Amino acid sequence: MACNLQIAVKRLKVWSNNADLEFAIEVEILGRVRHKNLLSLRGYCAEGQERLIVYDYMPNLSLLSHLHGQHSEDCLLDWGRRMKIAIGSAEGIVYLHHHATPHIIHRDIKASNVLLDSDFQAQVADFGFAKLIPDGATHVTTRVKGTLGYLAPEYAMFGKASESCDVYSFGILLLELCSGRKPIEKISPTIKRPITDWALSLAREKKFDEMADPKLNGKYVEEELKRVLLVALTCSQNSPEKRPTMLEVVDLLKGESKEKLANMEESELFRSDLAGDDQEGLSGADDSSDFISEEKDQKDTKQVVDLGAEAT
């Protein structure tokens, strides 16, 4: 049935066996999931070497475009919208980890894969690297794919992918959302510093206000900022067994687990006598891999408007 519908089309630029596999995985995953915080599939095309995926159009593009890209100077992300994005994207990942059958690991949680609709509601997108987790399995061992700065250490070094890897990536995303900083900061031509090192040092000194994005101009709820930062750093610990589940993350972000939050703040991770002792080195894989990329303000998705599209 024809209708007035805005759509976005993602087109495979160069065909290859790997790209075709990612296309097939994404179509399969999108066909399985239905959640308000996960991008919906409208249709797809696989003819010859042409590969197209059709989605709903996202008027506010991606979170990346607002933090570091073409909309960063517009300052459209007030604190209320940031909290909405944090909770919404977390709830989308909860669906993947706990409600989808079988459970799904995204493997590429990052700012450019969180799209924003007209109301700035988050929709997690891009399932080309996703993995289905068989019942009873704690992890799958696979070739490392993803984006520098977001990769959990156990995944980057040993290829062990689990729900906890997504939790780590989401922690980095939360730090980025609060601070407006990139996951990896270039200090000099030869030295890079992960956002976790910078943030953890300040958190141990209880300097949470110093981590707020300057674009907020001090307009944020201090208690919420502190809560999100504590959750972010707990998610992005190097030890996967110490990270919370995404179900716990949602409760913490909503302020529904005050006792857990208090215990978190008193944990060894945030001991003030450890201030200045950052987590060991830059977590993540060597950037020489063909499957590891750096985050940039661009998407392969071409947003188009179709005033007479047929939803398939």
Q: What is the distance between the alpha carbons of residues 170 and 33, in angstroms, rounded to a whole number? A: 19
Residue 194: exposure state from Cβ atoms within 10 A (0-12, 13-18, ≥19): buried
Collect all residues with Cβ–Cβ distance below 8 Å to 117 and sequence separation of at least 6: 56, 58, 59, 60, 123
119 catalytic per annotation: no
Half-sphere exposure of 166 (CA within 13 A, CB side): 30
* Helix axis angle, 246-253 to 163-179, nearest 10°: 30
What stretches of 108-241 show up as alpha helix (H) in DSSP? 153-158, 163-179, 195-204, 222-235
User: Phi, psi at residue 54, to the nearest 5°?
Assistant: -110, 125
Residue 234 has a CB neighbour count (10 Å cut-off) of: 24
Length of the chain: 312
Closest CA to 65 of 130, 120, 147: 120
Burial degree of 19 (CB within 10 A; 0-12, 13-18, 19+)? middle
**Exposed/middle/buried for 202, CB within 10 Å: 0-12, 13-18, 19+?**
middle
Catalytic residue among 78, 108, 278, 286: 108
Burial code (b: 16+ CB inside 10 Å, e: under 16) for 257-288 equals beeebeebeeeebbeeeebeebbeebbbbeee
So which residues are the catalytic ones? 108
